Amino acid sequence: MTTKDTNGKELDDGNTVQVIKDLKVKGTSTTLKRGTTFKNIRLTSNEGQVECRQGKSTIVLKTEFLKKM
């Protein structure tokens, strides 16, 4: 199973990714702006999702909205 970003590059644990469009976060009133960078991502059992840390919380993002840095 390989996890790929929007450009088709393979993602691994610990990579740095950037959000390519504004995303609303479910359950909160916050919005992730385009260009937001996340370091040290973790892969999940689902190849279309990765876990990222934002402050003290962990969020799950779809790989179709991310690009590898």
Token pair of 62, please?
A: 């779809």
Contact by Cβ (8 Å): 41, 52: yes
Contact by Cβ (8 Å): 39, 23: no
* Span 22-62, pLDDT tens digits: 999 888 898 999 999 999 999 999 999 999 998 899 999 99
Token pair of 61, please?
A: 């993002």
Section 5-32 average pLDDT? 94
pTM over 0.95: no
Going by pLDDT thresholds of 50, 70 and 90, the confidence category of residue 13 is: very high
